[in-house]
Amino acid sequence: EAFETAVGPGASPDVRSRSLAGRALAHEKLLHWTEALNLYREVVAASPDAELRRWAGESVLALGKAHLARGELRPALEAFRRARELTPPPGQSQEARFWEAEALARLKRGDEARVAFDAVLAADAASPFAPDAVYGLASLALEQRRPLPAVARFRELLLVWPDSPRVPDATFALARTLMDLGRYQEAGPLLQRFVEHHPRHPRAADARYLLGQGALEQKKYREAVVLARAAARSEDPDTRTRAALVIGEAELNLGRYAAALQSFEAAAGPGAEREVRSRALAGRGLACEKLRRWPEALRLYQEVVTSSHDAELRQWAQDRALAMKAPGTPAQKRPTTNPL
């Protein structure tokens, strides 16, 4: 109210602008977002004070970031769009446009987000936000199940901006995508470099697991055991169980059935995901069969049949159970799936 009364008849442009700025800040504190944004824009458009204009523009951008941090995506998007429309836009080159794209991506408006990220790069490829925009485009491609464009964008980021803070995450995401595509020989060096350069990264244990999985897929069973054991020491229980599954598969292929059984038992422990547990039960059944522990093997196969969501794995377990009841039936190859 005080700021409103300050703008009386004959008030100078400077006083009026400072009053508008004060009203904007008061509305922001009162959580009146629309009023605050409109007043900040008015300050930018009308104030004779360049420093006050700059402050008002930065306030619009900061308001958007605050909304984004709180998960208030629609108000954030509105603020970033208002900031982008200011002349000149606040922040660093293409900053408002980048955050607009980020808000769109979090709102799951992928096509609009892709256009906005592309606009950042088209307007200023040297912007400090260019590598973030490329990472955003790669992430969108993954969400939209377009792995090949994602691979191209991740490679672009690593090549053009090797010092970007996004490099560790991009390296892991690229390697993981290549694993999903079955391109293990390309993924391996990336994962190894990631583990060596970023041993404390939150995804380091996942990278070690993927190294083991890649070795398993390439039938390098001894190497798979060594690599997966490093991942099995992870503090993350999910990573530990997945790594134990890789070890069990490798030991099974090496003919070390007792060791395989032990690893599969660890993989099927408390907290294991249903898919991991089903595969571990199938592995335990086969290991028990190889160890001539027939009743236990039959029980495990039947448990896979009743509990697994994987139709192919259920059919395999049912066939194995029938084969055990009818000796001489040729064994079918156990199905495997993509890396978990």
Residue 54 falls within a domain, yes or no?
Answer: yes
Question: How many CB atoms neighbour CB 9 within 10 A?
Answer: 4
**Of 57, 91, 125, at which residue does a domain stop?**
91
pLDDT surpasses 50 at 29: yes
Q: Are residues 206 and 332 in the same domain?
A: yes
Tell me which residue range forms the domain holding 249. 182-340
Residue 259 falls within a domain, yes or no?
Answer: yes
CB-side neighbour CA atoms (13 Å) of 181: 19
Please state which of the ranges 16-30, 73-87, 100-114 shows the lowest mean pLDDT: 16-30
Three-state secondary-structure class, residue 261: helix
Q: For 255-276, how does the pLDDT look when each residue is reduced to its tens digit (9 = 90+)?
A: 999 999 999 999 987 778 889 9
Residue 295 backbone phi and psi in degrees, to 5 = -60, -40
Residue 237 falls within a domain, yes or no?
Answer: yes
Residue 87 falls within a domain, yes or no?
Answer: yes
Q: Are residues 325 and 210 in the same domain?
A: yes
Q: Are residues 213 and 325 in the same domain?
A: yes
Assign 117 a pLDDT band (cuts: 50, 70, 90).
Answer: very high
Percentage of the chain modeled with pLDDT above 70:
84
Percentage of the chain modeled with pLDDT above 90:
66
**Of 31, 60, 91, at which residue does a domain stop?**
91
The CATH number of residue 239's host domain is 1.25.40.10
The CATH number of residue 76's host domain is 1.25.40
Q: For residue 99, which of 82, 124, 122 has the smallest C-alpha distance? A: 82
Say what the pLDDT of residue 337 is. Answer: 44
pLDDT surpasses 80 at 338: no
Residues 73/67, Cβ–Cβ less than 8 Å: yes
Contacts for 115 with CB less than 8 Å, ≥ 6 apart = none
Counting the structural domains of the chain, the total is 2
Say what the pLDDT of residue 5 is. Answer: 60
Say what the pLDDT of residue 339 is. Answer: 40
Residue 45 falls within a domain, yes or no?
Answer: yes
**Of 39, 70, 91, at which residue does a domain stop?**
91
pLDDT surpasses 90 at 326: no
What value does the mean pLDDT of the chain take? 88
Residue 277 falls within a domain, yes or no?
Answer: yes
Q: For 175-221, how does the pLDDT look when each residue is reduced to its tens digit (9 = 90+)?
A: 999 999 999 999 999 999 999 999 999 999 999 999 999 999 999 99
Residue 118 falls within a domain, yes or no?
Answer: no
Q: Are residues 209 and 325 in the same domain?
A: yes
DSSP 8-state assignment for residue 49 = -
Residue 129 falls within a domain, yes or no?
Answer: no
Q: Are residues 198 and 336 in the same domain?
A: yes
Give the amino acid at 284: R
Say what the pLDDT of residue 131 is. Answer: 98
In this prediction, residues 11-24 reach a mean pLDDT of 67
